[in-house]
Chain A
Amino acid sequence: MIPERFRYHRARSLDEALDLVAQAPGQARILAGGHSLIPLMKLRLAQPQWVIDVEEVAELRGIREEGEVLHIGAMTRYRELMTDPLVARDAPLLALAARRVGDLQVRNRGTVGGALCHADPAADLPAAALASDAELELRSRRGQRRVALGDFLQGPLTTDLKPDEVLVAIHVPRRPGWGVAYQKFPHPASGYAVVGVAAAIAAESGRVARVCLGVTGVGPRAYRAAASEERLVGTGLDPEVLRAASAVVTDGIAVNHDQFASAEYRRHLAATYAERALAAAWAAIQA
């Protein structure tokens, strides 16, 4: 429980942070909330030589409207997602997922950027951010790029983040009036999602106009359940449709199995939770 020797640097600006990661590519790690990085270091599963704390980097903070999207700084804490009025209005699904993360300390420390860059396959926020069509704004000394979250997440603890890049913010389309729900089956030990399903539905004259279903805990990375979504568009979400669409929520996914849940059971749980999340999201529109 003692990390390898490392050097700690507190960056005062985004430029400074970018310089530091560029100087030691692959050897430096950004420290956000630290609730994933520090445990990994203590177990010596991560052994960065440089730890760059971005606590004071103003460019990574703040939630604001930018036309059709909401800009959410990478250093936004779960707690802020849960309480921010803009998020509540335009992207409430993120707040619902944040609410289900860990415990109070974790929600007070953990950040949007940390959650997405860490890419734990059982983390909550990725499911909700996927179902919110989040796009990532990444910066490096080389420039800036945008990437869809679905492309960014690659596998367990693996992303498309380049060694010299910093995640600055995420951009989510503003979707007031959508029905949203996040349903999670927490692991009794870790509290992470054995299965977590985030559903967002837009309705038009009683029918599903658009639906986004993000799933976590089930596969090597959080994913969008396209097969389920396809079956729902244009329907009135009656029970048979709902069941049939939920039943294919794990189609094409190499389903995880562990001590707690076999693949068979997890597949069943995913279908059950997809059904519950979709029904709840639908009910939220009706309400």
Chain B
Amino acid sequence: MNALIGQPVRRREDARLVVGRGQFTDDVQLPGMVYAVMVRSPHAHARIRGIDASRALGMPGVLAVFTGRDLEGVLGSVPTAWIPPNSDLKQTPHRPLAVDTVRYVGDAVAMVVAEDRYVARDAAEAVVVDYEPLPAVADVMAAVAEGAPLVHADAPGNIALHWKAGEVPDEVFARAEVVVRQRFRQQRLIPNPMEPRAAVAQYDSATGHLTVWMTSQNPHIHRFILAGILGIPEHHLRVVAQDVGGGFGSKISCYPDEALVAHAARVLRRPVKWVEDRSEHFTATTHGRDHVQEVELAGRRDGTIEALRVKAWANLGAYLSTAAPGVPTILFGLIVNGCYRIPQASTEVFGVYTHTTPVDAYRGAGRPEATYLIERMIDLFADAIGMDPVEVRRKNFVPRDQFPYTNPFGITYDSGDYERALQRALERIDYAALRREQAALRAQGRYLGIGFSTYVEMCGLGPSEVAGAVGFQGGLWEHATVRVHPSGKVQVFTGASPHGQGEETTFAQIVAEKLGVPFEDIEVVHGDTDRITMGWGTYGSRSLAVGGSALAVACQRLVEKGQRIAAHRLEAAVEDVVFEAGRYQVRGVPDRSLGFQEVALQAHLAWNLPPGVEPGMEASSAYNPSNFTFPFGTHVAVVEVDPATGAVELKRYVAVDDCGTPINPLIIAGQVHGGIVQGVGQALWEGAVYGEDGQLLTTSFLDYAMPKARFFPPIETEATVTPSPHNPLGVKGVGETGTIAATPAVVNAVIDALKPWNVRHLDMPLTPERVWRAIHGKGAQG
């Protein structure tokens, strides 16, 4: 058996996905299935005076119309699952269907169930809701202004939470040689996974069991929360997420819709399907980012950074989504110093309610918002002191020999060699030559910009003790079971819930290597609460670091058990048997060995096992990591700006990422590419725009600009390898690095290109008009 860890094995899941044989939620077909459509509010804020469903109910094929009133006392509130300590979190009720008041465009007010989708859709249009529109507020700063309309009566000033970490006294800034201040806007993004949300629910009236197929990144969390909302015992609820077409964080959250569908199935005794359409997705599924940040940096003329102070207002939308309170606090505020040794730092965050779609995790969740601000501040500081931004970075890096490094917020970075990744990137782009080319082109009226992002991020979310300390209402360990059948074939049951990341491949690689079993003999099972003991799911780039480690531990247990059985059968002492490439070998006696799969058969037959060894070949691990992991790297963007139009062209993109020990470089490259594309999307194109009245103005792909392949040059990726000491695989996670790193690299590049016009900063997305206005001194668009 060849070594498989580190090999570019092709994704085995692709064979079924590319020929359309995936089993997505919408592929679930059940006898007697009926369809649900939600009636959603067209107003950002309104009182519901009444709902008249009589016409809809009279339409042939319509089975039921549910309203908020019908569900009072029947369904519980949709809770948030993150309660950061000392944040004075104002948890307000989130009813599955609005009762008196709607609070954002897209807030569900009724659910129609009918025999087919078409009737359901027509009937939804026939439900008449009498709204009394009320003043609304969509912008985060407008929401905290005096006299702003209140989203919830019990959250004064629309403040959902107020959280602080660290403290930097004013004197530090008063005494500093150089102080740089900047206000940043992290615009709101709409995740738009390829597959929108969907749910199918089936109720078994004989047993009281309810099965929900749904688009989930974390079926066990969904089961836990849904059981609460539905008031059904958790062991009677099964959540299945077979193939899931991407989530980017939006399928972590627990929404009302899935609970409503489950409820309808229970009441109607018919399987019910609901599939979000793309238009619906724009308002009904959580958005990401949306901060205003005020940042101050104090430093010395020699480039040393002394202090960083951040104050941020995070738009949380109309209700607290599942992980929402933790994203702009814990996942953002504790890592704003980035990869720099900044002695003093502080973060203060206001989480703000507005009349907009709830905001929750979006690829990177908090860390892109943090990385953007520090990487932009480095460039602004470099500019202020007239130093090359690369030099400023170098000067402030946490040096390689300082790991583990504890940052000013008490977070301990596992391992790193920031200098090496930077050096590799500089060589790859030939930095000196590129700067010369930039100067030469400028003389010809062409404007090249070079931007860096030397990021570090915190992922591999776990351990559970930290989850508790930071108020996450769940554990952050992961479960794995490795079951070796008598024939030697292996099934792996993982609590990670891949939805595009390729764990069916990488996890099989790990098991194949650890057990020395052929890759083809291994199946990875995921996304089913009835088949998998427990799981906390896939987000925060944790699946490999935590779920993969659980697997490695379980495999190790099997190897050890096999070793005892093999020694017994080979009549050797356990210590004299070595396990190599899938065989137990008596040391120094080459012809006395047994393969792992043969040993597994013996374990099952149990004809002759050593004393104290139980029959069977199965092991589990509930792996609780000792810390987060901290991938890092350097990304470089090269752009050209057309001064006549303000158009930005991405000419070159180099990414050097260190995600610890690589399991599959092909999948790493895929994750890095996808992440970068989304990160660049934020920098240049994407942005959800609300009107002052709370109407979402970007409601389709005609006006919300998703990145397209043709916008990109070939992405050049490289890796350095600095294993994490915190897990048995030495892995760090790579699902979010690209998104975290790319955004500031591109914005820094554009601002660099605009040097001749003394442009200090522009907020994203850097649309041609924004850039053109900056060049021509025209001020903001009026």
User: Residues on A close to B: CB < 8 A?
Assistant: 1-2, 4-5, 43, 185, 187-190, 192, 258-262, 264-265, 268-269, 272
Contacts and interface: CB of A to CB of B under 8 A. Distances in A.
B277 interface: yes
B689 interface: yes
A43 B118 CA distance: 13
A1 B647 contact: no
Given A268-B772, A272-B645, A189 B685 contact: yes
A77 B773 CA distance: 39
Given A1-B278, A188-B685, A272-B644, A262 B769 contact: yes
B279 A43 contact: yes
A259 B277 CA distance: 23
Interface stretch (B74-82, B105-113, B239-247, B695-703): B695-703
Contacts of A189: 685, 701-706
Interface of B: 117-118, 121-122, 277-279, 644-645, 647, 684-685, 689, 697-698, 701-706, 708, 711, 767-769, 772-773, 778, 781-782
B645 A190 contact: no
Nearest to A273: B645
Chain B contact surface mostly: loop
Given A2-B118, A269-B645, A190 B702 contact: yes
B644 to A, nearest CB: 5
Sort A-B residue pairs by CB-CB distance and give the 4 closest, nearest first: A189-B705, A1-B277, A188-B705, A190-B702
B697 A5 contact: no
B55 to A, nearest CB: 16
Contacts of A192: 702
Main secondary structure of the interface of A (DSSP, over half): loop
Contacts of B782: 262
Nearest to A265: B769
Contacts of A262: 769, 781-782
Nearest to B37: A2
Contacts of B705: 187-189
A259 B703 contact: yes
Contacts of B704: 189
Nearest to A44: B125
Contacts, number: 55
Contact of A188 (B122, B645, B711): B711
Contacts of B706: 189
Contact of B772 (A187, A260, A265): A265
A247 to B, nearest CB: 13
Nearest to B711: A188
A190 B701 CA distance: 6
Contact of B117 (A2, A4, A43, A272): A2
Contact of B645 (A185, A258, A259, A260): A185
B133 to A, nearest CB: 23
A222 to B, nearest CB: 18
Contacts of A264: 778
B644 A190 contact: no
A190 B769 contact: no
A176 to B, nearest CB: 32
A190 B703 contact: yes
A282 B685 CA distance: 33
Nearest to A271: B644
Nearest to B767: A260
8 contacts: A188-B708, A188-B711, A189-B704, A189-B705, A260-B767, A262-B782, A265-B768, A265-B769
A284 B71 CA distance: 70
B91 to A, nearest CB: 34
A265 to B, nearest CB: 4
A65 B219 CA distance: 64
A103 to B, nearest CB: 9
Given A187-B702, A189-B704, A260-B769, 9 more contacts: A1-B278, A2-B121, A190-B702, A259-B697, A262-B769, A265-B769, A265-B773, A265-B781, A268-B772
Nearest to B120: A2
A265 B773 CA distance: 9
